[in-house]
């Protein structure tokens, strides 16, 4: 088989959250050896790559997104040898390996920051964003932290504030300093030399800040309130013109692309959270073939599963991004699991899970799955005492944080913590509602959500049109999402009923050239009026 240098185009990527995937050493926390042990399950789904969330040395204030050594493995997760063994097994199974690069900020325990805060004259004094207070002692700007409160923390040694977009223990690197850029690019080379196939770039639009330290204006009336903790976090009340998404970011992304292009078949996917500007930002970051290969936004990570919203999001992307690429997802480690967001009640859980993966697989773009969604796992309900996420702890009870989507993967019914760990108490509890949905229980059920994922991803691979075909939306009755995918001399029609009531899709103008194709898990009926769809139903047809 010929190798594709653009293997990422149309790829299915499976996100592994190492803390919660498989605990191999019995300490209650997942690790790299555990990941290696369970990779055969991932490969059995028919995905193309894994995205491994952070496993680097870290104090774990933000679950590893506060890095203190970019070129080593935290002992909690194992060793570099364990990483190499994991990657070798992934490659043996035909899986590409993408790892997180969290380079907008470090931990305050990183040696760079420890040196930087010692004085204003040391060699790394300008490696972080330091600024003098205003004459009244207050912070240099009105910028806010995503995790609550000001984005500035006072340091008594330097007698200055330092900037942090997230926790105070996550100081922002100063990308205006060329030495900082070189240091993070060297860290990227370290992993490329070990053979990783690409990077997921955390908060890819947060690297640069406004060098003039101008205040952000209030959010305009037509702006969208921030997705993060949408009604409890003042962060969403500002127009973030100066604390992120600065024009200098383009030049750095080109430098990063130059590093990856020195290696064969590498890829990047950037996380872009930029409110109403997200699509324009993605366009700037992916166009021209000299920056990122693809990005994902938060458009489909909210509560709206309506046909109108999905069409608006997808059309909006392809109108804004003419020669870039997108990676779609309904769930990840930062948002409530999508079956809980989309279903009206528990009886709909399986139906929603099956429809969502079928719809996702039919969209133009690459797709990203989050561990456990192939089991139809709902959001876990946790008590305050069980929380580990600083974001949730900060805004409880108005916002419960991200722990509910990060609970351990469930593998075996009847075993302690559903086979995740032999520890007395894992780092987060395993809900009973999850344990009964474990992999081994679903393996024995040909109609399970797990079986549907495998069948749907196999269908996607069997249709080259779904990897790179053009996408055109069609007019449809309210609540129905209809579009065609076309390439290789083949034209496929997809229709999805995202409502909770029956609907009919008329095919009078298509009847002579219309052939229903078997779509895993869905069996619609033809009538004189058209195709009859049950609630949360779908069909696919070949058009002659």
- Which of 62, 100, 172, 271 does the annotation list as catalytic? 271
pLDDT, one tens digit per residue, over 294-310 is: 999 899 999 999 999 99
CATH of segment(s) 12-105+177-460? 3.20.20.80
For residue 428, give Cα distances in angstroms to 76, 139, 223, 424: 15, 36, 36, 11
Helix (H) or strand (E) holding 179: helix 178-193
For residue 18, give Cα distances in angstroms to 57, 75, 523: 13, 13, 37
Q: Which residues contact 297 (CB under 8 A, 6 or more apart)?
A: 272, 273, 274, 278, 279, 282, 317, 326
Task: Outline which parts of the chain fall under CATH 3.20.20.80.
Answer: 12-105+177-460
Q: In the structure encoding, which two tokens stand for residue 133, read together?
A: 């207070």
pLDDT for 477: 96
Q: Which residues contact 232 (CB under 8 A, 6 or more apart)?
A: 395, 398, 399
- Which of 23, 31, 202, 379 does the annotation list as catalytic? 202
- Residue 148: strand, helix, or coil: coil
Could you identify the residue written with the tokens 């590893």? 64
Give, in words, the CATH class of 469-543: mainly beta
Cα–Cα dist 528/540, whole Å: 18
The residue count of the chain comes to 544
271 in active site = yes
For residue 113, give Cα distances in angstroms to 122, 124, 164, 181, 235: 11, 8, 12, 15, 25
Burial of 544 (0-12, 13-18, 19+ CB in 10 A): exposed
Cα–Cα dist 253/90, whole Å: 28
Cα–Cα dist 282/275, whole Å: 12
- Residue 56: strand, helix, or coil: strand
The secondary structure of 318-354 as a DSSP string is: HHH-SS--BEE-S--TTS--HHHHH-SSGGGHHHHHH
pLDDT for 241: 96
Q: How many Cβ atoms sit within 10 Å of the Cβ of residue 234?
A: 12
121 in active site = no
Cα–Cα dist 314/504, whole Å: 23
Cα–Cα dist 77/100, whole Å: 15
150 DSSP assignment: B
Tens-of-pLDDT digits for all 544 residues of the chain?
A: 345 689 999 999 999 999 999 999 999 999 999 999 999 999 999 999 999 999 999 999 999 999 999 999 999 999 999 999 999 999 999 999 999 999 999 999 999 999 999 999 999 999 999 999 999 999 999 999 999 999 999 999 999 999 999 999 999 999 999 999 999 999 999 999 999 999 999 999 999 999 999 999 998 755 444 444 456 789 989 999 999 999 999 999 999 999 999 999 999 999 998 888 899 999 999 999 999 999 998 999 999 999 999 999 999 999 999 889 999 999 999 999 999 999 999 999 999 999 999 999 999 999 999 999 999 999 999 999 999 999 999 999 999 999 999 999 999 999 999 999 999 999 999 999 999 999 999 999 999 999 999 999 999 999 999 998 999 999 999 999 999 999 988 999 999 999 999 999 998 877 668 888 999 999 999 888 899 999 999 999 999 7
pLDDT for 226: 43
- Which residues is 526 bridged to in the sheet? 531
pLDDT, one tens digit per residue, over 423-465 is: 999 999 999 999 999 999 999 999 999 999 999 999 999 999 9
Cα–Cα dist 34/73, whole Å: 14
Closest CA to 71 of 171, 190, 200, 170: 190
For residue 322, give Cα distances in angstroms to 9, 168, 240, 313: 15, 38, 25, 15
What is the pTM assigned to this prediction? Answer: 0.96
- Asked if 172 contacts 129 with a C-beta cutoff of 8 angstroms, the reply is yes
Task: Outline which parts of the chain fall under CATH 2.60.40.1180.
Answer: 469-543
Rounded to an integer, what is the distance from CA 213 to the centroid of its chain? 30
Cα–Cα dist 113/67, whole Å: 11
Helix (H) or strand (E) holding 460: helix 449-462
pLDDT for 2: 41
Q: In the structure encoding, which two tokens stand for residue 13, read together?
A: 């990527």
pLDDT for 511: 63
- Asked if 142 contacts 96 with a C-beta cutoff of 8 angstroms, the reply is no
């Amino acid at each position: 088989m010929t190798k594709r240098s653009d293997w990422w185009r149309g790829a299915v990527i499976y996100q592994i959250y190492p803390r919660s995937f498989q605990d191999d050493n019995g300490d209650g926390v997942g690790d790299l050896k555990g990941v290696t042990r369970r990779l055969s399950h991932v490969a059995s789904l028919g995905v193309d790559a894994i995205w491994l969330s952070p496993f680097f040395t870290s104090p774990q204030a933000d679950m590893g997104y506060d890095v203190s050594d970019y070129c080593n493995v935290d002992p909690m997760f194992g060793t570099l040898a364990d990483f190499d063994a994991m990657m070798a097994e992934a490659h043996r199974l035909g899986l590409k390996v993408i790892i997180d690069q969290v380079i907008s900020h470090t931990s305050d325990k990183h040696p760079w920051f420890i040196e930087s805060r010692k004085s204003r004259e040391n060699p790394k004094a300008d490696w972080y964003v330091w600024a003098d207070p205003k004459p009244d002692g207050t912070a240099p700007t009105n910028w806010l932290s995503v995790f609550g409160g000001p984005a500035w923390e006072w340091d008594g040694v330097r007698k200055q504030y330092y900037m942090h977009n997230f926790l105070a223990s996550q100081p922002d690197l100063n990308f205006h300093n060329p030495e900082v850029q070189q240091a993070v690019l060297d860290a990227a080379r370290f992993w490329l030399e070990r053979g990783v196939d690409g990077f997921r770039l955390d908060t890819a639009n947060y690297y640069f800040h406004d060098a003039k330290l101008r205040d952000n204006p209030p959010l305009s009336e037509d702006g969208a309130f921030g997705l993060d903790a949408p009604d409890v976090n003042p962060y969403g009340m500002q127009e973030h013109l100066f604390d992120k998404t600065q024009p200098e970011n383009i030049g750095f992304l080109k430098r990063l692309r130059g590093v990856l292009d020195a290696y064969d078949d590498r890829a990047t996917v950037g996380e872009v959270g930029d409110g109403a500007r997200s699509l324009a930002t993605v366009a700037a970051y992916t166009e021209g073939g000299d920056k990122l290969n693809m990005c994902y936004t938060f458009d489909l990570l909210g509560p709206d599963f309506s046909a109108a919203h999905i069409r608006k999001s997808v059309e909006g992307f392809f109108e804004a991004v003419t020669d870039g690429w997108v990676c779609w997802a309904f769930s990840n480690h930062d948002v409530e699991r999508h079956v809980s967001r989309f279903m009206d009640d528990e009886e709909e859980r399986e139906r929603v899970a099956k429809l969502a993966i079928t719809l996702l697989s039919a969209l133009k773009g690459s797709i990203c799955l989050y561990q456990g969604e192939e089991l139809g796992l709902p959001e876990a309900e946790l008590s305050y005492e069980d929380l580990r996420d600083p974001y949730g702890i900060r805004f409880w009870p108005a916002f419960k944080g991200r722990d509910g989507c990060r609970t351990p993967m469930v593998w075996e019914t009847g075993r302690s913590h559903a086979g995740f760990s032999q520890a007395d108490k894992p780092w987060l509890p395993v809900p009973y509602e999850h344990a009964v949905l474990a992999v081994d229980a679903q393996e024995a059920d040909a109609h399970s959500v797990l079986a549907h994922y495998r069948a749907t991803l196999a269908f996607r691979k069997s249709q080259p049109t779904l990897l790179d075909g053009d996408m055109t939306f069609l007019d449809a009755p309210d609540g129905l999402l209809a579009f065609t995918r076309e390439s290789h001399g083949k034209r496929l029609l997809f229709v999805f009923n995202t409502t909770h009531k029956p609907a009919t899709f008329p095919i009078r103008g298509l009847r002579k050239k219309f052939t229903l194709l078997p779509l895993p898990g869905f069996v619609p009926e033809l009538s004189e009026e058209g195709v009859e769809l049950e609630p949360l139903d779908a069909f696919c047809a070949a058009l002659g």
